[in-house]
Amino acid sequence: MDSEGHRLDPEDWGEFARQMHALLDACLERMETARDLPWRPVPEGFAGKVALDGDAHGAQTAFAALVDDIMPKATGNTHPRFWGWVHGTGLPVAVGAEMAAATMNANVGGRWQGATEVERAVLHQLTGIAGMDATASGILTGGTSQATLLALQTARLRAFGTGLRQSGIAGLPPVSVYVAEGGHSCIAKALEILGHGAQSLRHIPLDGGFRMDVGALSSAIAEDRRAGRTPLAIVGTAGSVGIGAFDDLSALADLAAAENIWLHVDSAFGFWLRLADPPLRDRVDGIGRADSIALDLHKWIGVPYDCGACLIADADLHREAFTTRPDYLAQGADGLAGGDHWFCDYGLDLSRGFRALKVWTAFKSLGLAAFGAAIRDNCRQAALMGQLVDAAPDLELAAPVLSNICCFRVPGKDPGDLAARLQIAGQAVFSTTRVDGEPCLRAAIVNHRTTTADIHAAIDAVRAIAAQP
Ligand SMILES: *Cc1c(COP(=O)(O)O)cnc(C)c1O
């Protein structure tokens, strides 16, 4: 039989359909029972088990390995007591979207196709939530790290002109970017990649309310200007990764406007307080005045990894910063090469997947109010954890609970060891950080499955484990 044109598709679609349905059933069962499935250590010999030999084993064998071997070795962030780092929990409706997106296999880099309009609809929703002008631009990215790189490149072109794309940065004066103490490492990384080096990032101390000290920022800018440095951007933090602190974004926007400096906001998870009620929502007041915003959809919104967004107020500048149209990407008047919005003009990637569909499906099916309620629950749960810690004689808070993060210590015990023991016992996942130089346990709650009972159970588990020798 001539298999040309059929080599990689199923030979028997009926049989394949049965295998796919079985896989879907296994996925659904796993999602439905997520509460019973905490992280489990990766067993000895797992790498050997998944090693590839180059031979064809068939979909049946491959799918069986997915269900029996690979899916159970997940990070466990689908579990209600997972609060380590800042991990999203995953949305069942978005699994459906991922299946449809993979079926369409759209390349959303450009061309005249429906997927582009879906991404634009998602971005319009996001700029609307931010309170930016309706003309604002944006692009979905792999996460906040990539969004930060795009935002700072755009800021740099506003400061020095888009001719910089051709000339490069060799002739530029040294630049400075400002962020509060506790700002995320992705900002320094973006500056490394942009060629300014991490040393161009200046960390500004916090004020008594855990916000960037605007007076200190103002002095740092003046000092840099005197020294011949160009202030490139102020990076406001809306939800610091360590303790969930929020800068006064309105004050930063005022200063940025007065000094004519780009204002970028890192709101990887904090962005979503825009969906909560006051007073939580007030923490992100002023975010709509930013020149650019980086945020994640894979954290608090919980779409399956990965998805973030970069929002940019000046749509023309955004396009000028990234557009490149060689002959093989020429726009057509009509047909597939038509369409006036090509996302390859707005970011790094030429070929890019249909990330927008899982976000669109999440918003379309669940509505923004449900996310707002889940976010409010998480902040209430973090506050409760803080109260339980305060009330326990053997525990001590490391920082006040400002939003959805609770940092605490068990005096005399090593937080890294406690966290690992709780994880291995399958009881709860905390991660660790330092507050005021001292190590502590940290729960960053962006988990729509967490209940009040989970918070009580986890604190009980911490105390029980800490009481063991
Ligand atoms: C997670 C996080 C980032 C980095 O985002 P990625 O999506 O992981 O690239 C940046 N800033 C803050 C505050 C974060 O929590």
Q: What is the pLDDT of residues 302-338, one digit of tens each?
A: 999 999 999 999 999 999 999 998 888 888 888 888 8
What's the CA angle centered on 424, arms 414 and 435, to 5 degrees? 30
More confidently predicted of 325 and 359: 359
The two three-digit tokens of residue 335, written as one number: 């047909």
Distance in Å, CA 227 to ligand 1 centroid: 32
The answer to whether 391 and 456 have CB atoms below 8 angstroms apart is no
Closest-CA residue, ligand 1 atom 5, reads 144
Split at pLDDT 50, 70, 90, the class of 75 is: confident
Beta-strand runs (E) in 122-222: 137-141, 175-180, 201-204
Ligand 1 binding pocket mutation candidate from 141, 144, 298 (most atoms within 8 A of CB): 144
pLDDT of residue 337: 85
pLDDT in tens, 140-191: 999 999 999 999 999 999 999 999 999 999 999 999 999 999 999 999 999 9
Query: With a 6 A CB cut-off, is 143 part of the ligand 1 pocket?
Result: yes
Query: With a 6 A CB cut-off, is 318 part of the ligand 1 pocket?
Result: no
34 vs 36: CA distance, rounded Å: 5
Split at pLDDT 50, 70, 90, the class of 340 is: confident
Distance in Å, CA 146 to ligand 1 centroid: 10
Distance in Å, CA 184 to ligand 1 centroid: 7
Query: With a 6 A CB cut-off, is 241 part of the ligand 1 pocket?
Result: yes
Residue 209: pLDDT over 90? yes
pTM for the whole thing? Answer: 0.97
Distance in Å, CA 211 to ligand 1 centroid: 18
Distance in Å, CA 411 to ligand 1 centroid: 29
pLDDT of residue 88: 96
What is the distance in angstroms between the CA of the first residue and the CA of the last residue of the chain? 69
pLDDT of residue 469: 81
pLDDT of residue 467: 94
Beta-strand runs (E) in 73-229: 137-141, 175-180, 201-204
Query: With a 6 A CB cut-off, is 136 part of the ligand 1 pocket?
Result: no
The two three-digit tokens of residue 206, written as one number: 């916090």
Instruction: Tell me the helix, strand and coil percentages in the chain, rounded to 5.
Output: 45, 15, 40
84 vs 418: CA distance, rounded Å: 13
Amino acid at 9: D
Query: With a 6 A CB cut-off, is 247 part of the ligand 1 pocket?
Result: no
Query: With a 6 A CB cut-off, is 145 part of the ligand 1 pocket?
Result: yes
The two three-digit tokens of residue 431, written as one number: 């991660």
Mean pLDDT of 41-66: 95
pLDDT of residue 1: 56
The answer to whether 127 and 324 have CB atoms below 8 angstroms apart is no
If phi over 0 gives left and psi between -120 and 50 gives alpha, with beta otherwise, what is residue 410? Answer: beta
pLDDT in tens, 1-30: 578 999 999 999 999 999 999 999 999 999
Query: Cα separations (Å) of 289 from 163, 184, 253, 312?
Result: 26, 21, 6, 11
Mean pLDDT of 397-419: 97
